[in-house]
Structures are given as C-alpha cells and as structure tokens.
Amino acid sequence: MNRALQILQERGFIQQCTDFEGLSALMDAGPVTFYVGCDPTGPSLHIGHMVPFFALRHLHEAGHIAIALIGGGTARIGDPSGKTEMRKMLTYEQIDENSERIRKQLDAFIGFDGKTAFTANNKDWLANLNYIDFLRDIGVHFSVNRMLSFEAYRKRLETGLTFIEFNYQLLQSYDFLQLYDRHGCRLQIGGDDQWGNIVAGIELIRRIRGVETYGLTFPLVTTSDGKKMGKTEKGALFLDPALTSPYEFFQYWRNVTDADVKRFLLMFTFLPVSECEALGSAKDSAINQAKERLAWEVTALIHGKEEADKALQAARALFGKGGTAGDADAVPTYRIAAKRIQQGILAIDLFVESGLCPSKSEARRLIQQGGAFVNEEKVTELEKMLDISSIQDGILLLRAGKKRYVRVRVE
C-alpha cells in the first residue's frame, strides 16, 4: 500500500475509499492533487471540521498537493447531509466574512504556500453560473431516482427538503469537476457524510472527462460515550480563541474519556503511532498524564506552544495540590473596578457578572448545593458579601463546581 495511505490507515482516518488499489497506485506514481471542502457557515471552524484537515496535512507532508476548498458558493445554499433541518440562510456578506476568517485559520494550521498547498473558493465558479447551461451540461448526468436513494436525501424526505438543498450534490460534483479541470485534482477527501456527494462528483468526471478520480472518507468522530465530538457547555469547541479560549480548549482534551485517548492522539496529533499507542494504553494515573500530553499537543497545534504552555501551567496550578491561581494566567479572567469591591459585593452577583452563572437563581442554586467557592472556600450563606478581605494580590478566585474557574482581577 502507498505509504501516505498507510499512515492514514494506521491513524484511524480511513472509513471508505472508492478504489483503494487504484488510488494507492496513483499515489505511488507521483504527487496527487487532492482537495477537502468546507462550507463557511460560521465565523470559525470547530474541532469537528478538523479531521479532514489533519488528514490533509498528513498527505501534504507526504508530498501530495493539497487544495482547501472554501465553499463560499455552496454556503449560499446549505448541504442537507446529516442535517435534519434546513440551514439558516446567511447573507452573502456574512459568508464572505466567514470565508476569510476560515481561510486564515486554515492557513495557520496548514501553511499555504500557493503551490503545494493552497485554497480555492467555489464562489468563483458558482456565483455566476448560468442556469440553462448548467442544466444542459451538468444536470443531464444526474438521476433523480438515484439521488433519492441516498441516505441524506431519503431522511430529509420525511422532514422536508427544499429544491435548493436538493441541488447541493450537483454543485459539489461540479466543484470536483472544476478542480479537476483547473488543477488536475484527482482525489476528494472528507467526512463520511460526504460520501454520496463525493461519489457523485467522481461519476460526473468519469462521464464528462472520461477520467478516473477517487474519493476517501473519514469516520465521523464521536466520543466513546456516543456524543458528538467537541461539545462543550458553550457549544462547539472552536478554533478561534475569542470563541473558545486556549485554556478551555486545553481542558476539553484534558477531560477526554479514557477510552478516547489513543484514538484522539492518533487523529489530532502528529506524535508517532507507537507513542500514541503507548500513551493511550496506559492505565490509572498514567492515563491521566497521557491526557495532559494529548491536551498540550493539540492545543500547541491550534494555538501555538506558548498558549499550550500557559494552559498547562494554569491547569496544574488549579488542579494540582496547593496550587495558587496567581500565576494561572490562562484562566479566564474577569476584571472589576476596585471601588466596587470596596463597597462590598454579593457573592451571588459576582458569580453572575463573571459569567460563571447565567442568572442569580442559578448562582443561588449553586451555593445551596455547595458548589460555589471563593478562594477555594465554600460559600455557605446565600447573602455572602465579599469585600477587600477576599482579595489576595489583586485577585480573587471563583470556582463553580469542580472545574469551572474564573479569576476576578481587581483594578
């Protein structure tokens, strides 16, 4: 088997391939141009988007030519795959803005050089498509009967599917054709929910250009307790530090279930396979250290080593014995005017203001249930007042439950 494919397989990336031997032979013969698509439907990528891009990096490092396709055109419609409801329509301005932000995030992760790795935006060929021409040239090759047999559309037939969403597959197939024509792209990789769309693109190219292209999909990554990957209290685990701080990002990986450690090390880090396996097979306290390693590695890849170090340090300070919050710079910090503390402030109010509790009722509940701490001391009275005496070195540490910390900095 081709070396690059072997790496992907060892690391658990491969779910399905349209023609394993054919692809392997093609890749052995020389650099293959391939692409991953991603629709800019939000302002930031989240970790769920990243599996194909980790795979992209592996292939790129193996000498193949990577295209990251930003779906500035397809985002105007919305892919029904894996969705149970129609997507919200975004304005064109929003999509363009999202596209740019996502392009930057990908650039930071992949490092586009414009030759062996670059981006494309399908807006360039989709935005001004002529409907009649499109139907004549592309539409004829699609069978509605066939499309309806796809899982993605069949499901939606029960809940409702609009015509524009139904067209998504044609557009994605057309993307592949365009990338083949423009850049000689021969391989499309993506999440397994894209299988139907990928296969459709391959068939289109075969019919129109008489050329064999390939598709490769990755498993949909879930946590071993069956939840979707990357879910936090606040929603998805975003790459944008403004949406998910590096510390929160780090903590997500730090708190992964034992059973997921090996798999995540293989997929979300570039540590050697043997090391991933050794770390992931550890037990008891050793597995805990492996989680710390996992968290540091992934955080470093996304946010850089410096941020990863800070997050690690903060986590150790808060969770290690006898640690202080003073040097835990990465911990979310809330700033408050010194005057307000001098006047005295209700603990309840501070928990709400700092963002640890969404409402005063929740803050009260937290105190009643014994989960509210100020400077690691349990708050026992609902009406607890805080003043200067709680401040140490200009800082006051709030904790909600076992893991959620906020530092309050008095200025």
- Closest CB to RNA among 1 and 336? 336
Query: Least distance in Å: CB of 74 to RNA?
Result: 22
C-beta of 105: minimal distance to RNA in Å? 26
Amino acid at 134: F
Q: Which residues bind RNA (CB under 7 A)?
A: 158-160, 225, 227, 233, 251, 254-258, 283-285, 287-288, 291-292, 315-316, 319, 352, 358-362, 364-366, 369-371, 400-404
The DSSP letter of residue 228 is B
Q: Which of 18, 74, 169, 172 is catalytic?
A: 172
Which CB atom, from 209 or from 403, has the smaller least distance to RNA? 403
d(CA 148, CA 157): 8
Look up 228 and say whether it is catalytic.
yes
CB-CB contact of 68 with 8 (8 Å): no
If the CB atoms of residues 140 and 157 are measured against RNA, the closer one turns out to be: 157
Helix (H) / strand (E) containing 20: helix 20-29
Minimum distance between the CB of residue 400 and RNA, rounded to whole angstroms?
A: 5
Closest approach, Cβ 411 to RNA, in A, equals 25
In angstroms, give the least distance from the CB of 266 to RNA.
18
Strand partners for 236: 231
What is the rounded distance in angstroms from the CA atom of residue 62 to the CA atom of residue 54?
A: 13
Cβ closest to RNA, residue 157 vs residue 273: 157
Does the active-site annotation cover 227? no
* 158: three-class secondary structure by DSSP: helix
Q: Look up 15 and say whether it is catalytic.
A: no
Nearest to 152 by CA among 167, 137, 173: 167
In the complex with RNA, the residue whose CB is nearer, 30 or 320, is: 320
Question: Is 258 among the catalytic positions?
Answer: no
Catalytic residue among 58, 155, 231, 364: 231
Can 231 be counted among the known catalytic residues? yes
Look up 11 and say whether it is catalytic. Answer: no
Annotation says 83 is catalytic? yes
Q: How far is the CB of 158 from RNA (least distance, A)?
A: 6
Q: Residue 232: which of 61, 403, 29, 27 has the closest Cα?
A: 403
Q: Which residues pair with 46 in a beta bridge?
A: 238
Is 119 annotated as catalytic? no
Q: Which is nearer to RNA, 186 or 263 (CB)?
A: 263
Of 70 and 350, CB closest to RNA:
350
For residue 161, the minimal CB distance to RNA (Å) is 8
Q: Which of 16, 33, 87, 313 is catalytic?
A: 87
Catalytically annotated residue among 11, 49, 60, 103: 49
- Toward RNA, which CB reaches closer, 53 or 264? 264
Q: How distant, in Å, are the alpha carbons of 163, 239, 247, 255, 402 from that of 295?
A: 43, 14, 10, 9, 19
Q: What is the 3-state secondary structure (H, E, C) of 288-340?
A: HHHHHHHHHHHHHHHHCHHHHHHHHHHHHHHHCCCCCCCCCCCCCEEEECHHH
Cβ partners under 8 Å of residue 149, min gap 6: none
Contact 376, 300 (CB under 8 A): no
Residue 235: both structure tokens together: 């929603």
* Main-chain phi, psi angles of 214, to 5 degrees: -130, 160
The DSSP line for 365-404 is HHHHTT-EEETTEE---TT-EE-GGG-BTTEEEEEETTTE
Q: Which of 96, 107, 192, 193 is catalytic?
A: 193
Q: Give me the residue label for tokens 């064109």.
A: 92
Q: For the chain, count helices (H), then strands (E).
A: 19, 15
Q: Helices marked H in 44-194 — which ranges?
A: 47-61, 92-110, 123-126, 131-137, 144-148, 151-159, 163-166, 168-183
Taking the complex as a whole, the smallest distance from the CB of residue 339 to RNA amounts, in Å, to 20
Would you please indicate which residues are annotated as catalytic (active-site) residues? 41, 46, 49, 83, 87, 172, 193, 228, 231-232
